[in-house]
């Protein structure tokens, strides 16, 4: 059974850092690109970052470039999102998702982890 489980969310002050993890199981993690998508409370969905199967290529939306870093450990089947210089507008539920066919859509999503940026 395919599973994605995010962790690491919580309450953090503006300007501080947080690192999210996404533990994958039930598939060969190293074969597939992975994504982070977020959803602010009662709002729509927003793509955040993506990473190639090897981790050699990464992609970000402009508003997080230079502040967020996506990475992966294929030996641990785990995806990460290092979030630095956090802002109130980063408050959201963060989902990790798979990309089975490498076509830049999201086949399977984890249940998400909530990040609240507030003083």
Partner 1 sequence: DTVLTQSPALAVSPGERVTISCRASESVSTRMHWYQQKPGQQPKLLIYGASNLESGVPARFSGSGSGTDFTLTIDPVEANDTATYFCQQSWNDPLTFGSGTKLEIK
Residues that bind partner 1 (CB under 8 A): 44-47, 61-62, 95, 101, 103-112
Of 87, 106, 86, 88, give the one whose Cα is nearest residue 96.
106
> Quick one: 78 or 110, whose CB is closer to partner 1?
110
> Quick one: 80 or 112, whose CB is closer to partner 1?
112
Q: Give the nearest distance from C-beta 80 to partner 1 in angstroms.
A: 19
CA torsion 53-31-97-73 (nearest 10°) is -60
> Quick one: 23 or 45, whose CB is closer to partner 1?
45
Q: Give the nearest distance from C-beta 47 to partner 1 in angstroms.
A: 4
**d(Cα 107, Cα 92) in Å, to the nearest integer?**
21
């Amino acid at each position: 059974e395919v599973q994605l489980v995010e962790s690491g969310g919580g309450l953090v002050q503006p300007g501080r850092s947080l690192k999210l993890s996404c533990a994958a199981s039930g598939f060969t993690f190293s074969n597939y690109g992975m994504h982070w998508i977020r959803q602010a409370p009662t709002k729509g969905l927003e793509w955040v970052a993506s990473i190639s199967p090897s981790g050699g290529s990464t992609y970000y939306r402009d508003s997080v470039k230079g502040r967020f870093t996506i990475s992966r450990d294929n030996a641990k089947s785990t995806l990460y999102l290092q979030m630095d210089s956090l802002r109130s507008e980063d408050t959201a539920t963060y989902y990790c998702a798979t990309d089975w066919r490498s076509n830049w859509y999201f086949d399977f999503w984890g249940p998400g982890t909530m990040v609240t940026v507030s003083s």
